[in-house]
Amino acid sequence: MTTTQDLINGLKELQSMAIKMYAQSHGYHWNIEGRTFKQDHAFLLEIYNDVFDSIDTYAESLRKIGAKAPFGLVQLQANSLLKINDSSDLTSEQMFVELSKTNLQVIDKLKDIFDVATEQREQGIANFLADRQDKHSFWQWQLTSTLK
Ligand SMILES: [Fe+2]
């Protein structure tokens, strides 16, 4: 049995994970180097724009179920255990490996919290989480293909 508080905690965790993945993909966009710079730089822009847009919906989903939306950097950092590799000296291949690791953790968390949202009969939020899983799966396919 889950509670509304479980959904609140899950959404806060996902919001935090999205912010970390956003920072990671934008940071890699700035620092990536190599012979395929142009396309890698543009690919990372696509990812960080998509993930950035999701942050607002996590926050507004929290408001819809009666919780306040966190915005302080310290609180946001504390709301998930996800650690990103924020080195600016990685090779392009290492950056895509690291981003792929982050993305897989986001997908796992989305699956868990989708189940909580469904159990709480929050269908709109469940829909949003299903859409996010689909989008992060799309990025996973593209990241994995880039690494082959
Ligand atoms: Fe840019």
User: The pTM is what?
Assistant: 0.97
Which helix (H) or strand (E) element contains residue 127? helix 123-146
- Specify the pLDDT at position 88: 92
Q: What is the C-alpha R_g of the chain? A: 16
Cα separation, 34 vs 93, in Å, equals 10
On the CB side of 51, CA atoms within 13 Å amount to 29
Read off the pLDDT of each residue in 98-115 and give the average, rounded to a whole number: 98
For ligand 1, the distance from its centroid to the CA atom of residue 41, given in whole angstroms, is: 8
Read off the pLDDT of each residue in 71-79 and give the average, rounded to a whole number: 97
Give the pLDDT confidence of 118-134 residue by residue, as tens digits. 999 999 999 999 999 99
- Specify the pLDDT at position 29: 98
- Specify the pLDDT at position 33: 97
For ligand 1, the distance from its centroid to the CA atom of residue 30, given in whole angstroms, is: 6
Place 38 in a pLDDT band, splitting at 50, 70 and 90: very high
For ligand 1, the distance from its centroid to the CA atom of residue 29, given in whole angstroms, is: 7
